Structure 1
Amino acid sequence: MNKHNLIVANQYDIISNTFDNSRVRIWNSVTNFLTNNCENKTLLESGCGNGKNMIFANSLGYKTKGFDISNKLLDICKEKDLDVYYSDVLDMDKTLKYDKILSIAVLHHLENEEMQKQAINNLLECLNQNGELLVSFWSKEKTFNTTTLKKTEKDYRNFNIGPNLVDWKLKDNTIKRFYYIHDYDSILALANNINSKNSNINFSLYWELQNWFIHFKVN
């Protein structure tokens, strides 16, 4: 694991209990992804966090497996009887194949776009025929309407497109956490880059509450 990801893992270990208590909502994009065509399906979650998405998927009948780089979050998942293991998406085992893969609010912690592309390609390689992948990133847009792309300053959050440090406040100190922020143009370029190098892949792009979602499908 590279130095940057080790820092990310250590920070998640530090905030793991607070993170577990605060992350309970399932995104609508995730709900739609999981509830559509879910019978007898296998699911892998890359960056499983506190396991909330896996628990929801299990309730729908998926056979789930997940991995994370935070040992503390993995402990929390194991306490919930989830099938999880330690791994980095940049250096993951690609021998097992899955019907669906999730990676929600994970890849924006990677250091640059090249690593994001590598991670997405790794995950796509783990899909079965007709498999699906859903990934998400924080967005620069505060509001977004796909039919009206003209924006003013008030429509954007105070982030740079690219690397940012965002405060996570604890009782005794503040941790500066890394996020690679995308806007519409950069997330579309990322998805198009993946699509151009994988002739059997198509994608859809969604925006939900200051997050970008890319839904890849293997033809």
Structure 2
Amino acid sequence: MIDDLFDRANRPVRPFEFDADVARVFPDMVRRSVPGYAELVGLSGLIARRVAGPRARCYDLGCSLGAVTRTILRQTGPDVTVIAVDNAPAMIAGLRTQFADSDDAERVVTQCADIQTVPIEQASLVVLNLTLQFVPIELRLELLQRIRAGLVPGGALILAEKFAAPEGRAGAWLTTLHEDFKRANGYSELAIARKRAALEQVLIPESLATHEQRLTEAGFAGAVRWFQSLNFVAWLAWI
């Protein structure tokens, strides 16, 4: 369905949440809001193919409607399991509906839970796809440390985030082009402004350097940026 949630001038702007209204339009919202989203998801599946061997366990934390879960399943063997976790009941309900009649249904374990409390155990791959930015900053290192501790030898983390635009002309270009991307995808000036206001205290981006320093502090042996489109970036971190 078409995302028109922020075109309604007569509705007050509330802090953004992943409720039933957002779940209903989420595929259209993320496609029109996140540059390169399809490529980001597809390449995540190719990474899964490399790191998830027989009987591997993968985690999709903040799974929303399961785009990453589906690409992992497509790219890995029939004995690989994906544990898909989200704290939004509407998202988990939508994911479960999509997999209800799927041949891969038995390979997916869904949990409506807080990713900060879900045990990470014997994981070959953990994915945080545009998820860490919604976790309170003071809790982000602890989450990455738990993920690091739950990876098997050879395991990896995919971390994809919107990063804070740097100061000066470079940051101005990134911000302007991202808004142009939204305009080119049909969002009105009203919708862009209202969604920005809704996300302001909910999605807290950080600098590239901050993310990379935190991955080191969490105990990862190394990390590489493997994707960037405007102010969206993804790292592969390993142990």
Consecutive unaligned residues of structure 1, counting only runs of 5 or more, are: 1-6, 143-149, 159-166
Indicate the residue corresponding to 1:18 in structure 2. 25
Q: CA distance change for structure 1 residues 181 and 29 in 2, over 3 Å: closer, same or farther?
A: farther
Q: Distance in 1 between matches of 2:172 and 2:210?
A: 24
Q: Distance in 1 between matches of 2:172 and 2:28?
A: 31
Q: CA distance change for structure 1 residues 197 and 115 in 2, over 3 Å: closer, same or farther?
A: closer
CA contact (8 A) 1:136 1:212 kept: yes
Identity of aligned residues (%): 7
Q: CA distance change for structure 1 residues 201 and 179 in 2, over 3 Å: closer, same or farther?
A: same
Indicate the residue corresponding to 2:125 in structure 1. 100
Q: Distance in 1 between matches of 2:112 and 2:84?
A: 9
Structure 1 length normalisation: TM-score? 0.72
Matching residue within 129, 145, 152 for 1:128: 152
Q: Distance in 2 between matches of 1:43 and 1:35?
A: 11
- String of CA shifts for 1:64-105, please: whole Å, max 9, x gaps: 1110010000001111224211121222224x3211110100
CA contact (8 A) 1:168 1:176 kept: no
Q: Distance in 2 between matches of 1:76 and 1:20?
A: 11
Does residue 87 (structure 1) correspond to residue 113 (structure 2)? The answer is yes
Q: CA distance change for structure 1 residues 196 and 83 in 2, over 3 Å: closer, same or farther?
A: closer
- String of CA shifts for 1:103-141, please: whole Å, max 9, x gaps: 1001111232x2221221222222112110111110244
Matched residue pairs, number?
188
| Letter of the 1:93 counterpart | P
Indicate the residue corresponding to 1:193 in structure 2. 214
| Letter of the 1:12 counterpart | F
User: Structure 1: which 4+ aligned runs deviate by more than 6 Å?
Assistant: none
Indicate the residue corresponding to 1:75 in structure 2. 93
Give secondary structure in 2 for the equivalent of 1:117.
helix
Q: CA deviation at 1:204?
A: 1.5
Q: Distance in 2 between matches of 1:151 and 1:54?
A: 37
Matching residue within 64, 86, 101 for 2:82: 64
Higher strand share: 1
Give secondary structure in 1 for the equivalent of 2:94.
helix
| Letter of the 1:19 counterpart | F
Give secondary structure in 1 for the equivalent of 2:233.
strand
Matching residue within 200, 207, 211 for 2:232: 211
CA contact (8 A) 1:23 1:50 kept: no
Give secondary structure in 2 for the equivalent of 1:212.
strand
Indicate the residue corresponding to 1:3 in structure 2. none
CA contact (8 A) 1:100 1:127 kept: yes
Larger Rg over CA atoms: 2
Give secondary structure in 2 for the equivalent of 1:181.
coil
Greater relative contact order (Cα < 8 A, sep 6+): 2
CA contact (8 A) 2:81 2:109 kept: no
Give the root-mean-square deviation of aligned CA atoms.
3.1
CA contact (8 A) 1:140 1:156 kept: no
